[in-house]
Structure 1
């Protein structure tokens, strides 16, 4: 029998398909894919393993496939993983010996943490309790688990819930033309949210188009796999610069804008006609598609006009309308100046453009292009719904006391500045002796003092800052400002001036000569003061968030040693610390 001979001769080979990070474009791991002899009908994995199951050779083939995959593994660093397909049926094979894999790895110089076992069956595992026991044995040794075909059917979702894997792989059926189908997008979004809540990373399989890669990256999917990123082979993968830049660009949009969408995310299919098409044909289209609001008029792929359903039928319903227009070309009735925007334009900006149109065009579709070519349209309703949802999402993570952005948005904004590579400054602010004030005057007064502090920082930014400067509320009496202003020291001085000017109003009477620190030690002071830590990032591309955090901690310690409101500065571009007081 051919399969017996294949196993006996060990005449299978292993190809490796890369799995890449959709955060930085680096290789995260390789999936080992078994192939039979090239001239054999059993070359492809599906007929090969189906024949093994029929012949009772499934375990023998699986063991050989794993041995070959580990022996020739392309995963050569501690950070790269080797994904090994593991049939659900193998888990229940009486000859299955879990310890065998560890022996193979040791020969190759690999460790269990380099290996991910990928449960590949689309059908139900059957006995989840038994499978869980076996997989737990692997986990205890350091192996990780992935569930394949997530979203392809109920059984895969049940496998995720029951087996609690480290990775789920979104099925190719969901990834294919994801950018064209909102329903697929919603399913992937749901899967991603589900995975994140369970601390599971998602891998999108079958990425073959740049548009699919862009959409998945901007949605925040963790890893990707597919012919676009690398075909199965025996050589290590090097991603092209174009694709790497695509990943970096669109991941940056996800990390820095959070729920701020680009209009391309709202693009939906829209009828399109050449300008020479007869009006009768367009009218027929609207009669057959009763939900179509409008259609784009496109010449050589470029949108040049728009015809709205209501406007067309109003013209045809007028006196002599039918006889005048029915056989004329659609360019006679189209709007030759519709709102046309590039897919990367922020939704908020498109909303402003759309609502500034004449009243008769207020609810017209917005036409969307990619590099000048027509890709779809967005309705005013979808734009407003997106903005509303984004604001609701922002409100969820904002500080309930000050309404300022919270830690999620703070991290996104800081990452945005770091990746832009331009000079910016970070100001950390916190109140001295706030606990003393809170204990003495009560929580309500304490909350008012925190709100006052937030106002001081925002007002100073409004006077001396730039339009896109950012103020966030870390929590309690701690705040952060991220600014591109030319003179951040002057900005710090303005924050202190406003605080010092207004804080006396928060004391009912000054019948105290000292305050207490958090340890209860008495300290002579005029009351609550504000300390600012200013970190100037002159070469943002060479500065990390950890460096900023460490500098802030050092400056905070310095500022606490001085009396009164003060700011301390550190210039990371020159590693020179210039401490200034006010």
Structure 2
């Protein structure tokens, strides 16, 4: 018996005895650092030439056994699934050729899912690049069928070749996985960053979520978070395993600090749109919910809870469709509501940005597109929001932001600044205000021209937002008072470090605006020569404890006094005072 025959025997024994297993690598949200799901990865027996999945699948394809191996791999992935709750997703790899497999039939995967307590809404079919798709018409037809059942689609290895880009255009997936080759050292490679920026913009327009693969460095994680990529996967965040993943607190902090700050728009969270909604326990009879809908004609849906934690959703129209059949009334009337509820509704925390919720909601299957969005506070039931309310709020906010934003920087102007300050004062939660003013800006403008002056203003706007992203919190705010004056409103635990970060970034970057020129003196607004190397920045830090009432005027007066004190010193500096 030759070696080739031995290998063939080992392979067939592997299939017959189902000697493969699955390990699971976490996929982490770059919004909050939580595990959103897992990719199932197939492994062969340790004591065989097929332990490597690459070797195993290549051999299966050569022998015409790819379909059998892929079916077995799907079953093993579902059997060993370590999903912790109904909102997490299981990514299952399938090669493009398997779409033509007669065994890839409707209902077969569903049977296995139901056997192990999962639903189609938990599963994402990840189309890998083992082979390119040859018949897109057939692929779209097959995948459309799976989508109607609630499955989602991901395209793997985007950025690694033309075929994946064609697959994105033809199949319009729910997820795009960005290949490691584009992610590696992205914090050092501007070309890679520009390419990924294009993916981010495209994904936003198409309501597609991006997953960056192969994250191995903290700097890569920080850069991707800043750029607005949705999810990340890699050894840094978790290696493939058979146990539930826990993201390190240090990595969560990196994500939290570098989240894409919405400095140019009004901060708007879904919790601000929540409205009361009918709530019923999981074991309430269907008849009770039906009676509620009859008495409350304006109610479009109710939330099903257990110990005040949402477990499902029942929409009015869908419930009455259940009860409309010939025998449905007698069949369903006395059953408990959890037997007909949607047990995987969209559930979001109240601090989730409205635009993010909109993307999540509108990427749902068509028959769930107009379902209520359930809003929680620290995991407990808080309210709901309709798609109409969400979309209207986004439109209104964008119109308002465009109307009152500073035309040069796009940052919120005085109307929004005052609104934000009043909101903080009303909440009576400690915060602090940083007022930034450029010194000798008029001298710079006169010497280098208004176009270079505008560029320096825009640079200041950018670095304020970058500093907030690094040392601030997701609810922080950056505004443009006018001219060379800016304001940041933050709840950072390190306000002095935030001020120092602004100064450091300014001092590091301002030199590039001097075009290599040097001087000993500049001219202040009064026409007096002052010894200085150039433009500096003065910061007023007003720390508001909110233990006693504070007015907007008092904050403004305190900031003005601190600015005068800062400007009396040479160089970039901050002065601070605690009030309230």
In the superposition, the TM-score normalised over structure 2's length comes to 0.48
Q: Which protein, 1 or 2, shows the higher relative CO under an 8 Å CA cutoff with sep ≥ 6?
A: 2
In the superposition, the TM-score normalised over structure 1's length comes to 0.48
Q: Could you say which structure has the larger radius of gyration? A: 1
